Amino acid sequence: MSEYLIKNGFVFDPTQKLKGDQADVAIKDGKIVDKVANPKVIDAKGMTVMAGALEVHAHVAGPKVNIGRIYRPEDKLFTFRPTEGSHHMEGGFSIPTTYKTGYAYARLGYTTVMEAAMPPLFARHVHEEIRDTPIIDEGAFPVFGNNWFVLEYIKNKELENTAAYIAWLLRVTKGFAVKVVNPGGTEAWGWGLNCLQIKDPVPYFDVTPEEIVKGLIEANEHLGLPHSMHIHGNNLGNPGNYTTTLDTLKLASGYKAKNKFGREQVMHHTHIQFHSYGGTKWADFESKARPVADYVNKHKNITIDVGFVTLDETTTMTADGPFEHHLTELNHLKWANADVELETAAGVVPYIYSPDVFVSGIQWAVGLEIALLSKDPMRCYITTDHPNAGPFTRYPRIMKWLMSQKARDEQIKAFKASDKVVAQSEIANIDRELTLYEIAQMTRAGPAKCLGLSGIYGGLKPGLDADVAVYDFNPEKEHKPMEIEDAFSEVKYLWKTGVPIIMDRKFVSEGKKRTLWVDAKVADNPQVMRDVKEKFVKYYTVTEKNYEVTGKHFIPNPYAIEVDATH
């Protein structure tokens, strides 16, 4: 098979502690290797070389994403890049079409993306969209935190049953990890209610978010899954919610990660920017990034991704149904809602993060503060909770802000209520500028390790998959901030699993993407199988046999990560 040698580039690779060293990268048969015999040579002199990046949390495939697309024709107006031969047309600003999603991530140098929330009943839809997203490997996280089976098993303190159900659901939906969104609160939303604090009981099921979170952490470690429980905590978006976040983070205390994938965290808290607010109402809304970042710094069994606000008009979409209803009551923009029987819900509302509104300015500051106050870039990742805080196509802009205090100052000056933003946040006082090495930790090695995929992705160590990105950016030169954003907006070269995808900025192939899922083998559990059978007969509106995702038309190229949890 094909051999490539990428010579003379400045390599940033935390898996080999390369901090911009000039080094060669060799590719053979889809993997990074030490040596090649007869390669095609690419001269990367004066350029930055990194592994393909990993997106640990984005809403890119599935029913609520498509509701967003379908109900926002205006999001596509004048945005299209036309069809070019076999390269599909690309459209949509905040909710790109699946074709654009794949191409746009590839352009940024991203090669593996995790769909953040899959409602199990809609797994087929998620997989169809994943199939129609070119180039990038993808996995999807089924949601568990409001699932009737899980609520009952956890109430009854049945760890084995919880674990067996998780393993079963991951297999029938071809899912990757245990996702929890607004635990308990989204089931309460089935009645128009919510659970804002971790001790608020779920109506009828009489179990609390605290119990749900701990129960799922225990089940996750009992199974030894590659990724940890991945949580969007209660009380998202509200002033003063940082206390709920600290309560949630504390639930990880005392748990140790148990797995064969190198993962060290037991809890991944996602888009933590939305959960780090102080104040009591909008007028005194302020940043509480510091206490949250401090807690995460001190507790090494927790990882986070930020959810940076990009100051765009975007579309919010989340399984936190009650939050979305709350948001439409605030901004009065069109609201879509989709409650899912026995499982979860979703809501979609457009949102404008305007530089003229001081709350948006503070939200922007909170994200940056969290990243700049984080001591371990291997445990803090770059995301925008796409598209909630902004589209993923803004990652280069976020890099610019993280790497340049000057760029941050320019943005602060551009706020209409600049004084208020400065007074109610800390951003103006932070002068730290992240390095490219730290960015590589936050976008490559860190996310790979957190997902339990460091044996495959996230670095350029020989043996890993040959996912390689080359940017026309010389790290040894001085740069204006905008040059950082421009340079990282488009790779010059990209390989995925050793196949050239982008050569000299042109797409040359779409590769052969894979759908990652976790196949956890557990001991037979007749009780859970009986419960499953009963609920399908009595409460679901599809049959048990029609629930499972099977067939190449959904998953043409599956990549199962095996876990032996038979104990």
Partner 1 sequence: MTKTVTDVICPFCGTLCDDIEVVLSDDGKKIVEVMNACAIGNEKFHHSQAADRPKRPRMQQPDGSYKEVSYDEAVEFTAQMFAKSKKPLMYGWSSTNCEAQSVGHQIAELTGAVVDNTATVCHGTTLIAVQDVGIPSCTLGEIKNRADRIIYWGCNPAHAHPRHMSRYSIFPRGFFTGKGQASRKVIVVDPRPTDTSNMADYYYQVEQGRDYELLQAFRTALHGHPLPDTVAGIPKEKIYEGAEVMKSGRFGIIFFGMGVTQTLSKNHNIDAAIMLTKDLNEFSKYSIMPMRGHYNVTGSGEVLGWQFGFPYAVDLSRGIARYNPGDTTSNDLLRRGEVDAVFVIASDPGAHFPISSVKKIAKLPSVAVDPHFTPTTEICKLHVPVAFVGIECGGNAYRMDNVPIDTRKVVEPPEGMLTDEQFLEKVLHRVRELKGAA
Partner 2 sequence: MNTVTLTSKAKPELFLEADNITPDIFAGKTNEQIAALTLYEGSAKHPLGEYYDVSGSAGPTAAETRIVIKGDATRLKYVGMKMTGGEISIEGNADMYVGAWMKGGKIQVKGSVDAFAGTGMTGGEISIDGDAGNYLGAAYRGDWRGMRGGVIRVKGNAGSDLGYFMNGGTIVVGGNADVHVGTHAEGNGKIIIKGNAKSKVGGQMVGGEIYIFGDLEVPMPTFEYRKDVELEVDGTKAKFALFEGDTAERHPKRKGETVFGKIYMKY
User: What does the binding site for partner 1 look like in residue numbers (CB under 8 A)?
Assistant: 61, 63, 65-67, 69-73, 75-76, 80-83, 85-86, 88-89, 91-92, 97-99, 121-122, 124-125, 128-129, 132, 148, 190-192, 204, 325, 328, 334-342, 345, 348-349, 538-543, 545-546, 550-551, 553-554
- The closest of 463, 529, 466, 450 to 500, measured between CA atoms, is 466
Partner whose binding site includes residue 325, from partner 1, partner 2, none (CB under 5 to 8 Å by kind): partner 1
How far apart CA 127 and CA 138 sit, in angstroms, is 9
Q: Cα-flanking dihedrals φ and ψ of residue 73, to 5°?
A: -60, -30
The number of angstroms, rounded, from the C-alpha of 513 to the middle of its chain's C-alpha atoms is: 18
Q: How far is the CB of 356 from partner 2 (least distance, A)?
A: 16
Q: Which does 546 bind (CB under 5 to 8 A by kind): partner 1, partner 2, none?
A: partner 1
CB-nearer residue toward partner 1: 124 or 222: 124
The interface partner of residue 536, options being partner 1, partner 2, none and the CB cut-off 5 to 8 Å by kind, is: none
Least separation, in Å, of the C-beta of 198 and partner 1?
23
Min dist. Cβ of residue 66 to partner 1 (A)? 5
Q: Which does 258 bind (CB under 5 to 8 A by kind): partner 2, partner 1, none?
A: none
Q: Which does 89 bind (CB under 5 to 8 A by kind): partner 1, partner 2, none?
A: partner 1
Contact set with partner 2 (CB under 8 A)? 71-75, 77, 332-334
First to last CA, the chain: 40
Closest CB to partner 2 among 71 and 540?
71
Question: Which partner from the list partner 2, partner 1, none does 204 bind, CB cut-off 5 to 8 Å by kind?
Answer: partner 1
Contacts of 204 (CB under 8 A, 6+ apart): none
- Residue 470 touches which of partner 2, partner 1, none (Cβ within 5-8 Å per kind): none
**Min CB(71)–partner 1 separation in Å:** 5
Q: Quick one: 41 or 333, whose CB is closer to partner 2?
A: 333
Task: Give the shortest CB-435-to-partner 1 separation in angstroms.
Answer: 38
Q: At what angle do helices 148-155 and 159-173 cross, to 10 degrees?
A: 160
Would you say 295 or 335 has its CB closer to partner 1? 335
Query: How far apart are alpha carbons 548 and 537 in whole angstroms?
Result: 15
Q: Which is nearer to partner 1, 116 or 373 (CB)?
A: 116
Token pair in block for residue 34? 């030490």
Taking the C-alpha atoms of residue 171 and residue 167, their distance in angstroms, rounded to an integer, is 6
By the 8 A CB rule, do 370 and 273 touch? Answer: yes
- The span from the CA of 138 to the CA of 358, in Å, is 36
Burial class (CB in 10 A: 0-12, 13-18, 19+), 323: buried
Residue 412 Cβ, how far from partner 2 at the closest point, in Å? 28
Q: Pseudo-torsion of CA 407, 409, 415, 416, nearest 10°?
A: -140
**How far lies 9's CA from each of 44, 117, 374, 562, in Å?**
5, 37, 29, 36
* E strand or H helix that includes residue 447: helix 446-450
Distance of closest approach, residue 332 Cβ to partner 2, in angstroms: 7
From partner 1, partner 2, none, interface partner of 332 (C-beta below 5 to 8 A by class): partner 2
Q: Closer CB to partner 1, residue 281 or residue 545?
A: 545
